[in-house]
Amino acid sequence: MESLEILSVLAGKFGEGLEAVTEGPESHLKLPAREVASVCTFLKEDPTLDCDLLTCISAVDLKGLKGETTDDFEVVYHLESTRKLHTVCLRLRVPRESPKVPSVSAIWETANWHEREAYDLMGIEFEGHPNLVRILCADDWVGHPLRKDYEYPKEYHGVHCEFEGNQDGTWGGHPGK
Amino acid sequence: MPESTTEILAYRILELLPFLTALPEALHLPLAIALTGLVPITIISLIGLVGVYMERKISAFIQVRLGPMEVGPYGILQTLADGIKLIGKEDIIPRGADRPLFILAPIFAFVGVVLLFVAIPFDRNFIVVDLNVGIFYLAAVASIEVVGVIMAGWASNNKWSLLGAMREAAQVVAYEIPLGICLITVVLLAGSFSMVEIVEGQKGLFLNWFLFRNPVMWVPFIAFMVASLAELKRAPFDLPEAESELVSGFHTEYTGMRFSIFFIAEYGAMFISGALISVLFLGGYYTGIPFLDDIGGAIGLLLRTGTLFGKAFFFIFVQMWLRWTLPRVRLDQMFYICYKVLVPFGFVALLITAFWELVFPGQGFMSLGWAPGSQ
Amino acid sequence: MTEAIARESSVHSAPDIRTEELLLNMGPQHPSTHGVLRVIVRTDGEMVLDCEPVVGYLHRCFEKCAESGTYVQAVCYTDRLDYLMAMGNNLGYALAVEKLAGGEIPEMAEFIRVLVTELNRIGSHLIALGTFGLDTGAITPFFYSFRDREMVLDILEEICGQRLNYNYIRPGGVAYDLPEGILKKVEKFLDHMEKSLVEINDLLTYNGIFIHRTANVGILDVETAIRYGVTGPNLRSTGLKRDLRKLRPYGIYDRFEFNICTGTGEYGTLGDCWNRHIVRMQEITESIKILRQVLGSFPTEGEHIAKAMARKVRPAVGAAYTAVENSKGELGFYVASDGSDKAWRIKCRAPSFHNISVLPALCKNTMLADMVIVLGSLDIVLGEIDR
């Protein structure tokens, strides 16, 4: 199925809040965060859509992005069907103060580790996840590194880890200056 | 009663070192005998030296590389250098390890090997002690090493070492059964438990070797080789020291000299199993060419000792060749081979050998009909 | 994590029988975990009841580092993801950026890309088979496969100066032109590799003990694989024909003829360790086939990089996901751009991340020795699991 058809099917079934976006490098479906579990269940179980492979869950921090007014997080789901050979992209936004998204780990096992990573690195909380703990950073790490307002730690377990580069994390300038 | 080599050597040592006679009379013979004990230990250490070099060179050639080439011409002195390095290492005993057991374990393994060495015949009269229950003694003493390994695994305070030791105990004890069956088959042919008698029974043309005595003797031969590979914990039966799983198995926590004792014990045991295979099936110290075997004196002694060493080192080469070619078998597969393949086939071969000896006593099937047997 | 397993072990022992279960910790330093991976294993003697992989020991947060440099500077970070197939990572990233930036890639650059990627794929599969042999205890095939891999590394070193982290395939093309005479060297290597593959197969793949160790061990069925997101040879060994080079061809892969290799079922069942191994063996043959076609139709002259993207890449605002077929599976990059020359967000979808997550499902009630075999057959690289 072409992505346009899929998007219109979904928009038709789930009504308001959903918006199909077709211009840009990737056509995707915008949906409100609370709908994601029901939409994903439908995508997996409907025989014409049959999205059995969850390829990727990405989390993007929109704070400071040109053209954005809010500082939400965006969570992007890429799904694929191995039998029908089509792909679907879902994007949803959650506010920074309470970044809660229903978990889809019951639908695809893949989501288990992807959601843990999104929680670890971006701080998005997935409700209903069986084991939402850090996966990549150390268990006692403070903060969520991929956020745009992340503060680099000064030390970790007695190891000095402040680097002498630019404090805003960019490169440039002579090292050691 | 002929004096055994030990007593001959003991008296020679007393002659060579007259200051020993200053000690009380009762201590002379025991002290000299203790000094003769240094001989097998030295020989085993030298075999370990040569064995390690052989292993590194053979593995290198099989793996399309050169092996040690720097230390000495073609790397001959490499093992010596390694030995010096190992002696100089810090002696680490892990915290929480059972100290007495930790220290005793390598000694048990080494002692097991030295005791086996005692019964290997290098020539008719050149054997440490010619026990008239030689075979039985070998089978019994071979298990002392197991105790050493279990002690090492337990005393290391390391779950992985314990796993390795448990696997090893299971494996060695299991494979002693086919080993014993093959030994009995040979005893049937020789009519005696004594090691020298077994070799003497194969005197003459090489067709008299026990391997060619009847059409099924290749079964105990192969079974004995496989079982001795398992007893030595060499690949494909090296589960106890499976590097990729348990780091180093039961001797993970051993460093320096303690580790090298385990190591030398392993190579000594390899030599002994090679010597045993040649004694039991391939004529021992006899070359199999009658006029060469009849040479007497010092030259004959050297020739026959050299023959036994040569055959033993050939089997060491075969064992190393197998190690670097084959993958490892799993625990349950190892037991399958032991109990469902080697034991039944070994028993059948034993029965057929027994019948053969009844019908054609002392005759090899190669010599049936056209020449009488050797005995 | 550990508490979850420890809690379970107390739940499972019945009140009247006290069975001693061993909680073993494999790694992070361990000869057979193929990198800094920690696996917590709950065993009952030799049987594994449950296992849990703990990752993150190699986490360098490449995604954050890549945001602080330009798109071209971030290429060297992508090398270090799956460091055994660095060209594939570079290619995936370059394609992702090109999707946003648009523009034509020169024909010569496309051919060079296929050349180096397929050479790298052969190298990566050689490591996979060598280390898998090591896990089973066969030490010699490791040396044979590494000897052949040295030839690949020599060729790639001549092309781009590096043996492991190539930093070669950039958005817009490739970094440098090919040196003189390299195509002849590639052809010589291909001839040698075909003979060497027969030798390695005789030594390892069709060895009786190896077959006994790997056949019917760690059987992965298609549904479980897809549910866990497993892709690449692991998924193809279950019988599903899914290869991104054929499904959504990128570059010029649609010009070449090659088969999708699936498990043969010759020994064992589809989806077991032996079939995963044979799929990788067959993929080496297929890569050789592709390379011969590349050599046969190689253009004589052309640009090696699109001039517009040679120094600075400024993609349009937007975000897209692009995936390539790496030796471990589907490697995807989700790149979000804000119109400047620095990326806003790069997310890497690593195949080994999914391959390792399926380990607990494969290892229920197998022996400890089998667990090591399964781990080896999954062919994971910690660099891309942890990023």
Pairing status of strand A125-127 against strand A100-102: parallel
Q: By percentage, how much of chain C surpasses pLDDT 90?
A: 45
Cis peptide before B236 (omega within 30 of 0): yes
pLDDT band at C7 (very low <50, low <70, confident <90, very high): very low
pLDDT tens, position by position, B147-170:
888 888 888 887 777 777 887 888
Range of the domain at B289: 37-359
**Which DSSP state fits C105?**
P
Nearest CB to C56; choose among A26, A56, A137: A137
Residues of C with CB under 8 A from a CB of B: 22, 24, 30-32, 46, 133-140, 143-144, 147, 203-204, 207, 209-210, 212-213, 367-370, 372
Indicate whether B315 belongs to any domain. yes
Question: How far off is chain B from C14, nearest CA to CA, in Å?
Answer: 24
- Among residues A142, A25, A152, which one has the least CA distance to residue C68? A152
Q: Give the per-residue pLDDT at B315.
A: 92
Angle between helices B99-117 and B144-155 (to 10 degrees): 160
Amino acid residing at C206: Y
Residue A121 lies inside a defined structural domain of this protein: yes
CA B122-B124-B125 angle, 5° bins: 90
Under the banding of pLDDT at 50, 70 and 90, the label for residue A170 is low
Q: In this structure, what token pair is assigned to residue A71?
A: 């500082």
The chain C residue lying nearest B245, using CA atoms, is C32
Range of the domain at A56: 3-160
Where residue C156 falls among pLDDT bands split at 50, 70, 90? very high
Single pTM value for the model: 0.86
* Contact yes or no, A with B (3+ CB pairs under 8 Å): no
Question: What DSSP state is assigned to residue C84?
Answer: G
- What pLDDT shows up at residue C109? 92
Output the pLDDT for position C125. 94
- Write out pLDDT tens, residues A56-91: 999 999 888 887 788 889 999 999 988 888 888 999
Which residues, 6 or more positions from B276, have their beta carbon under 8 angstroms from its beta carbon?
A: B120, B138, B224, B228
Q: Cα(C34)–Cα(B362) distance, rounded to whole angstroms?
A: 58
Is the model's pLDDT at C103 over the cut of 90?
A: no
Q: How does the average pLDDT of chain C come out, rounded? A: 87
- Check: CB of residue B214 under 8 Å from CB of residue B352: yes
Whole-number pLDDT of residue C137: 84
Provide the edge-to-edge strand list for the sheet that holds A28-30. Answer: A19-21, A28-30, A87-94, A73-80, A53-61
CB nearest C372 (choices: B59, B65, B245): B245
Confidence of residue C329 (pLDDT cuts 50, 70, 90): very high
The end-to-end CA distance of chain A, in Å, is 57
Alpha carbon distances (Å) from B51 to B174, B319, C183: 27, 11, 46
Cis peptide leading into residue C28 (ω within 30°): yes
Interchain proximity C134–B247, CB inside 8 Å: no
- Diameter over CA atoms, chain A: 61
CA distance C52 to B154: 26
- CA torsion sign for C152, C158, C163, C168 is negative
Nearest partner of B138 among B167, B191, B179, judged by Cα: B179
| Domain-embedded: residue B365 | no
**What is the structure's pLDDT at B278?**
92
* Chains in contact with A, where contact requires at least 3 CB pairs less than 8 Å apart: C
- What is the model's pLDDT at position B10? 67
* Domain presence at residue B68: yes
For position C302, what pLDDT does the model report? 84
Q: What tokens were used for B154?
A: 């337990």
Low-confidence residues of chain B, pLDDT below 50?
1, 243-244, 369-375
* Inside any domain, residue A71: yes
Residue B372 inside a domain? The answer is no
User: Could you read off the pLDDT of C334-371 as tens digits, one per residue?
Assistant: 999 988 888 899 999 999 999 999 999 998 888 877 88
Mutate to test the interface with B, among C42, C209, C211, C213 (most CBs of B within 10 A): C209
Written as six digits, the tokens of A171 are 């490169």
* Model pLDDT for residues A5-51, shown as the tens digit of each residue: 777 777 777 777 777 787 888 888 888 888 888 888 888 888 888 88
Residue of B375 and C126 predicted with greater confidence: C126
Determine the pLDDT at residue C14.
41
Reported as a pLDDT band with limits 50, 70 and 90, residue C1 is very low
CB pair distance less than 8 Å for C135 and B239? no
C-beta of residue B132 within 8 angstroms of C-beta of residue B159: no
- Smallest Cα distance from C168 to chain B, Å: 32
Q: How far is B226 from chain C (nearest CA, A)?
A: 14
Residue C30 C-alpha, separation from nearest chain B C-alpha, in angstroms? 7
Edge to edge, the sheet with strand C343-349 lists C318-325, C330-337, C343-349
For the structural domain made of C62-362+369-378, what CATH number should be given?
1.10.645.10
Give a yes or no: residue A66 inside a domain.
yes
Of B319, B296, B323, B164, residue with least CA distance to B236: B323
Residue A136 C-alpha, separation from nearest chain C C-alpha, in angstroms: 4
Please report the number of interchain residue pairs, chain B to chain C, with beta-carbon separation below 8 angstroms.
75
Q: How many residues appear in chain B?
A: 375
User: Where do the domains of chain C lie?
Assistant: 62-362+369-378
Angle of CA points C7, C13, C14, to nearest 5°: 130
Side-chain-side CA neighbours of B59 within 13 Å: the count stands at: 20
Contact across the interface for C367 and B238, Cβ inside 8 Å:
no
Q: What mean pLDDT value characterizes chain A?
A: 83
**Would you say how long chain C is, in residues?**
387
Out of B238, B244, B333, name the one closest to residue C31 (CB).
B244
Nearest by CB to C213, from B65, B167, B327: name it: B327
A127 domain residue, yes or no:
yes
Number of domains in chain A: 1
Structure tokens at B252: 């993970």
Among C23, C139, C217, C365, pick the best mutation site for testing chain B contact (most B Cβ within 10 A): C139
- Which chains pack against B, by 3+ Cβ pairs within 8 A? C
Give the mean model confidence (pLDDT) for residues A167-177. 52
According to DSSP, residue C204 is labeled: I
Out of C135, C143, C210, closest to residue B64 by CB = C143
Could you give the ipTM of this predicted complex?
0.88
Hey, of A3, A26, A27, which one would you mutate to test binding to chain C, going by the most C CBs within 10 A of its CB? A26
Give me the pLDDT at residue C42, please.
86
Q: Report pLDDT for B374.
A: 43
Residue C251 identity: G
pLDDT score, position A175: 46
What local confidence, expressed as pLDDT, does residue C6 receive?
Answer: 46
- Under a CB-based contact definition with an 8 Å cutoff, are residues C41 and C47 in contact? no
Residue C275 has pLDDT above 60, yes or no: yes
Kindly list the residues of chain A whose beta carbon comes within 8 Å of any beta carbon in chain C: 24-26, 52-56, 58-61, 65-67, 76, 78, 82, 85, 89, 108-110, 112-113, 121, 131, 133-138, 145-146, 169-171
Instruction: Output phi, psi for B307, to 5 deg.
Output: -60, -45
User: Which among C59, C68, C318 has CB closest to A25?
Assistant: C318
Tell me which residue in C22, C137, C209 faces B242 most closely, judged by beta carbons. Answer: C137
Q: Is residue A168 part of a domain?
A: no
Percent of chain C with pLDDT over 70: 94
On whether residue B10 sits in a domain, the answer given is: no
Question: Looking at residue B372, what is its pLDDT?
Answer: 46
DSSP H helical ranges for C272-387: 273-296, 351-357, 359-362, 368-378, 382-386
Whether the Cβ atoms of residue A85 and residue A99 lie closer than 8 Å to each other: no
* Under 8 Å between Cβ of C268 and C214: yes
pLDDT 10s digits, A139-166 = 888 889 998 888 888 888 888 777 665 5
Closest CA to B255 of B372, B126, B94: B94
- Evaluate whether B206 touches B213 at the Cβ level (below 8 Å): no
Nearest CB to A25 within list C100, C228, C240: C100
C63 touches chain A (CB under 8 A): yes
Cβ–Cβ of B63/C138 closer than 8 Å? no
Picking from C132, C124, C71, the residue whose alpha carbon sits closest to that of residue C272 is C132
Q: Quick one: residue B256, left, alpha or beta (phi over 0 = left, psi -120 to 50 = alpha)? A: left
How far apart CA A100 and CA A110 sit, in angstroms, is: 19
Residue A172 lies in a domain: no
Number of domains in chain B: 1
Please report, for the domain that includes residue A122, its CATH number.
3.30.460.80
Amino acid residing at B164: G
